[in-house]
Structure 1
Amino acid sequence: MKKETRTVVYDDELRIEAYRFEGTRQPFPNHFHEHYVIGFVEDGERCLSCKNREYSIERGNILLFNPGDNHACVQSDDGTFDYRGFHISKSTMLDLAEEVTGKRQLPGFSKAVIRDDEIACYLRPLHEMVMNGISDFGKEETLLFLISTLIQNYGQPFESCVPECPQKIERACEFIRQHFNERIYLDQICRYAGLSKSTLLRAFTKSKGVTPYRYLETIRINEAKALLRKGVQPVEAAMQTGFSDQSHFTNYFNSFIGLAPGVYRDIFFDKSKDGEQRYGA
């Protein structure tokens, strides 16, 4: 039988709790929380009761519990339950909702169980970032996109029009290009551009086709490529382009370029005996 593990991490920057349960068989009796719960079922099948309605939940389901929603669950197969999720206090959710809607009003999610690939694409990477202690602004960006999409699709309606703001978006790009090798925060970009976080994220993504954090990653990778072509060692290239550590740099470089940084460098500096490069540039 799979060994049960339970991990809880509190993120001071985002002010949210992240939970990871693996190999769980424990049933949970009818109860409620004073906070929001946003969860993702990794594996296993359970019978869930929420607000006197019955659900069968399985891998890929997303759970949305409002504060005060009574719920209970029990395993419905012979296996175990694997789950990741967030607990978000009402005060934190109030700040997030105001940021993405412009209204200081708590959302009320209309569905307790959903299956939504877009939400999952925000939820799971965000959970990994919190669990791994990532502290760059990509984490906050992902949280805001997650909450914005949840409220837009399953909560109270809000203004979905994305402003253009072309000059302010270019100012945001300028700031990122000037400070790519530093640890920068979403707040700094917003102040420089003169936009709120929510407006920046939506307008930037509409204008550039990528999020501000992906734009930063791209700038960093392109600068790292230039350094590697000059013979700079990967560890030094990582430091000069603002990556937090060698592993972080290697993973991103490989995902963007399809090669490890050292392999890319060797294309230009690993010579054969006759003095020619072994690989084309």
Structure 2
Amino acid sequence: MKQEIRIVKYDAQLKVEAYHFKGIMQKFPNHFHEYYVIGFIENGKRLLSCKSKEYIIEPGDLLIFNPRDNHACEQIDGKTLDYRCINIQPEIMRRAVFAVTGKEQLPYFTSQVLFHNELVVVLRDLHQMLMQEEVCLRKEEVFYFLLEQLIEEYTEQGISTNILEQNTKITAICEFLEKHYMDNIALEDLCNLTGLSKYYLLRSFTKQMGISPYSYLETIRIEKAKKMLEHGVLPIDVAFKTGFTDQSHFSNFFKKFIGLTPKQYMNIFKDARN
């Protein structure tokens, strides 16, 4: 069995994260992130589900996820995965877009998979510099060049700060879950909030958001947990503050989504702060 490699680097110069997962077969369940993800596969073939569409992705394909683009993936060729990506928080993306275009806007990328795209070479180069923790002008140049190319070719003309176009009741559910993520929320609570039946609520929410209300709540909890861990809050305290019943459940759940244990994730940012 090949050894698994799971590396995360935080780059203080660009203020982005770089992930490298190698030698893994892990299936990642349906989830989303609060940030942009730009990545590629170096080895392995995966079935990607994103916003109710399915793609077969392989080496040479470039992936772009907007904040809250729900997605899941699993290996389909029996080979281990070698996946690399950079994560960009919306406020960092906004600054980068302003530097590139002179406009205070958030981009909305219309294509989540760019098959056999030549920009993979550029992203690989940038990712390598991030992994090696290089501090140089060239790294910044490559970063902005990559974003410029992606924004020019793969975003809508009318860039919107409100990426999600939702109806009022679905918006109300999302806001409720984001506000009360620490609580033990029942489906009845969401029905009382919106006046919808349980069946219609589940069907409408899942159709519009691509994931169920519970999966949405799970993802919110994980995103909140990540921010706490980044600021040095201990995993046992994070578990309690994000609505998990115990630390063991939290640790298993966190690793299923992120590919790292809470402690491993916390230590990445501990090293960066030191």
1:144 CA drift (Å): 0.2
Greater C-alpha Rg:
1
**Could you say which residue in structure 2 is the equivalent of 1:200?**
none
Question: Following superposition of structure 1 onto structure 2, how do residues 108-257 of structure 1 map, counting pairs within 5 Å?
Answer: 108-157=108-157
- Kept after mapping to 2: 8 A contact 1:151/1:157: no
Evaluate the alpha carbon distance shift between residue 119 and residue 157 of structure 1 in structure 2; reply closer, same or farther with a 3 A threshold: farther
The letter of the residue matching 1:156 is: E
**Could you say which residue in structure 2 is the equivalent of 1:66?**
66
| Alpha-carbon distance in 1 for matches of 2:49, 2:78 | 19
**Could you say which residue in structure 2 is the equivalent of 1:235?**
none
Q: Given the two structures, how large is their TM-score scaled by the length of structure 1?
A: 0.55
Q: Given the two structures, how large is their TM-score scaled by the length of structure 2?
A: 0.56
The letter of the residue matching 1:70 is: N
1:7-42 CA deviation, whole Å, 9 max, x = no partner?
Answer: 000000000000000011000000000000000110
**Could you say which residue in structure 1 is the equivalent of 2:104?**
104
Q: How large is the RMSD of aligned CA atoms in angstroms?
A: 1.2
Evaluate the alpha carbon distance shift between residue 103 and residue 116 of structure 1 in structure 2; reply closer, same or farther with a 3 A threshold: farther
**Could you say which residue in structure 2 is the equivalent of 1:77?**
77
In structure 2, runs of 5+ residues without a counterpart are: 159-274
**Could you say which residue in structure 2 is the equivalent of 1:95?**
95
The letter of the residue matching 1:49 is: S
The letter of the residue matching 2:29 is: P
1:34 and 2:25 matched = no
Residue aligned with 2:41, SS: strand
Residue aligned with 2:151, SS: helix
1:73-97 CA deviation, whole Å, 9 max, x = no partner?
Answer: 1111111111100010000000001
1:21-73 CA deviation, whole Å, 9 max, x = no partner?
Answer: 00110000000000000001101011110001001111111110000100001
Equivalent pairs counted in the alignment come to 158
1:6 CA drift (Å): 0.4
In structure 1, runs of 5+ residues without a counterpart are: 159-281
The share of aligned pairs that are identical, in percent, is 50
| Alpha-carbon distance in 1 for matches of 2:116, 2:105 | 24
| Alpha-carbon distance in 1 for matches of 2:135, 2:156 | 30
Deviating beyond 3 angstroms after TM superposition, the runs of 4 or more aligned structure 1 residues are none
1:204-233 CA deviation, whole Å, 9 max, x = no partner?
Answer: xxxxxxxxxxxxxxxxxxxxxxxxxxxxxx
| Alpha-carbon distance in 1 for matches of 2:10, 2:129 | 12
1:143 CA drift (Å): 0.2
1:96-151 CA deviation, whole Å, 9 max, x = no partner?
Answer: 01111111100011111113543112101100001111111000000000000000
